[in-house]
Amino acid sequence: MVMRTGARVTWSVAIAGAILLILSGSLTFRAARAATFETFDVPGGTLTEPQAMNTGQITGFYRAQDGSTEGFLYFPLGGTFDTFQVKSSPVTRAFAINRAGLVTGSFVNARKESSFCFLLNVSGKAIGCGPLGSDGSGGASINRSGVICGSFLDSSTFSTHGFVWDKNNGATEFDAPGATLTEAASINDNGDTTGPWEDANGNIHAYVRASNGAFTEFDVPGAAGTFADAINVAGTVAGFWDDQFGGHHGYVRDALGNITVFDPKGSISLSAEGLGMNKKGVVTGSWFDSVEKEHGFVRQPGGKITSFDVPGAADTTAEAIDDNGDITGSFADANGTHGFIRSP
């Protein structure tokens, strides 16, 4: 079921700044380009949680008045929404969208037994996309060609495995070498996949699986655990690593295997929601301060980190960034959880 409605955009604000320029031996002040925020709620919803975006659409899920969880597409330019349920599911969650507007995620079957992967096309028709016979699956990422990656459960071994799926070949299942658990978190336009895997001792590592099936496994040096969240077409991976006390810290790994770690100023831990990254290698995510307030951040490829909050928010959670540098996510205030767009 697909329904289009008008948007409820609550307000837009600008964060102003100034930079000091030295021109011809004199001091001149010039206004910096301001970042702007737009906030939105799915009409009739009691909670709005964006998860992914392309350069013209945002997808995610929201809680409807009847208590069900449904997927949505938001079109910022026109200020309209499409909402959808897969097979009348009581729980539909959209997690990823590609440039063409194809959406993937998971839905719970009507008996509320398990969740399964879906692909929603631009006409609003949904089909299943996980491994046949699995006991549960979910789509995590979709590339330009419509190839999906995700994870599925095999109840006979009580283990989670990764998969890639396309409409011509169906699902290809895989595990990182030596893994007792494998999750697929992100796929790039080359068909390369990344995610975390767990060994027999319960230690978490990261991998890159090339489109030909070859694996490269890696860890952040000194980390208690390494998680991979996103991979772009250049082969750069972004994710987080755990210290011995359970705190989360960020890293980026280039295609040659060079790893750079980072933390936003004031952070005691990054959010376990994970990181988003665009094709230029710009990374976004969230972090917690010493009083456990959550803030968003954006990290440039050169290492500059800018933190931000939606004005008036108690917490700000950044989820995804598009190739123009626009960021989407959710924020909480006294009235609930809402969506936002931050434009640079």
243-272 pLDDT, tens per residue? 999 999 999 999 999 999 999 999 999 999
**At 192, is the secondary structure helix, strand, or coil?**
coil
State the average pLDDT for the chain: 90
The DSSP-derived string for 63-97 is E-TTS-EEEEEEETTTTEEEEE-STT-SBEEEEEE
- Whether the predicted pLDDT of 69 surpasses 60: yes
Task: Give mean pLDDT, residues 215-242.
Answer: 98
Residue 162 pLDDT class (50, 70, 90 cuts): very high
Residues 184 and 149 sit within 8 Å (Cβ to Cβ): yes
* pLDDT of the residue at 27: 37
Say how far apart CA 149 and CA 229 lie, in whole Å.
Answer: 12
Burial of residue 179 (CB within 10 Å: 0-12, 13-18, 19+) is buried
CA pair distance 241, 250, nearest whole angstrom: 6
Q: Which of 32-41, 136-145, 223-232, 233-242 has the lowest mean pLDDT?
A: 32-41
Residue-level pLDDT at 227: 98
Regarding predicted confidence, which is higher, 4 or 238? 238
| Structure token pair of residue 123 | 């006409």
What region, left, alpha or beta, does residue 278 occupy, with left being phi > 0 and alpha being psi -120 to 50 degrees?
beta
What was the pLDDT predicted at 109? 82
Q: Is the pLDDT of residue 5 over 80?
A: no
What CA dihedral angle connects 50, 54, 57 and 61, to 10 degrees? -20
Q: How far is CA 64 from CA 42, 59, 92, 225, in A?
A: 9, 15, 11, 37
The model's confidence at residue 32, banded by pLDDT at 50, 70 and 90, is: low
Distance, C-alpha 305 to centroid of its chain: 18
CB-based burial label for 329 (10 Å; 0-12, 13-18, 19+): buried
User: What's the pLDDT band for 112 if we cut at 50, 70, 90?
Assistant: low
SS3 for 9-27 is: EEEEEEECCEEEEEECCEE
List C-alpha distances in Å: 101 to 83, 116, 121, 194, 266: 14, 20, 7, 22, 37
Instruction: Provide the whole-model pTM.
Output: 0.90
Picking from 22-36, 51-65, 197-211, which range would have the lowest pLDDT averaged per residue?
22-36
Question: Tell me, what DSSP letter sits at residue 58?
Answer: E
How much is the average pLDDT of 97-121? 91
pLDDT at 29: 39
DSSP state for residue 29 in the 8-state scheme? E
Between 173 and 24, the more confident residue is: 173
Q: Percent of the chain, pLDDT > 70? A: 90
Exposure of 286 by Cβ count < 10 A (0-12 exposed, 13-18 middle, 19+ buried)? buried
pLDDT exceeds cutoff 70 at 22 = no
What share of the chain in percent tops pLDDT 90? Answer: 85
Element housing 135 (H / E):
none
Cα–Cα distances (Å) from 87 to 110, 135, 171, 188, in that order, read: 8, 18, 21, 28
Average pLDDT estimate for 55-82: 96
The pLDDT value given to residue 4: 34
- pLDDT for res 14: 34
Cα torsion 161, 237, 102, 297: sign:
positive
